């Protein structure tokens, strides 16, 4: 992240925090970061799921689906990885 982008993010966080707005909810300054962290964790879970044994059975990645997560911070959509045999059930969501 460039210094300018970081400065802009810090300003947005401070403005929302001082006005009492939710930082993680819809339109929140930290919402994209939370979404990104969750999606990366799901990708790591998929990597673990598709170990060598699964791959020899012909199971591979098969695109992404959408899920809406509801939290105390509000709802937001994430992209979830899918596998060909539909056997991937993430523990995170």
Return per-residue pLDDT of the chain as tens, 93 residues: 788 888 888 999 999 999 998 888 778 888 888 889 999 999 999 999 998 788 888 899 999 999 998 887 778 899 999 999 999 999 988
Determine the pLDDT at residue 79: 96
What integer pLDDT is reported at residue 1 of this predicted model?
A: 72
Helix, strand and coil content of the chain, in percent to the nearest 5, comes to: 45, 25, 35
The DSSP code sequence of 51-74 is -HHHHHTT--EEEEEEEEEEETTE
Which tokens in the block code for residue 81?
């990885």
Taking the C-alpha atoms of residue 6 and residue 53, their distance in angstroms, rounded to an integer, is: 43
Gyration radius of the chain's alpha carbons: 17
Between CA 61 and CA 55 the distance in angstroms is: 10
């Amino acid at each position: 992240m460039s210094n300018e982008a970081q400065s802009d993010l810090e300003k947005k966080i401070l403005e929302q925090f001082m006005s009492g707005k939710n930082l993680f909810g819809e339109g929140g300054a930290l919402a994209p970061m939370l979404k990104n962290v969750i999606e990366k964790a799901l990708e790591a879970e998929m990597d673990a799921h598709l170990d060598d044994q699964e791959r020899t059975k012909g199971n591979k990645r098969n695109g992404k689906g959408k899920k809406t997560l509801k939290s105390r911070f509000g709802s937001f959509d994430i992209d979830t990885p899918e596998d060909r045999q539909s056997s991937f059930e993430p523990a995170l969501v």
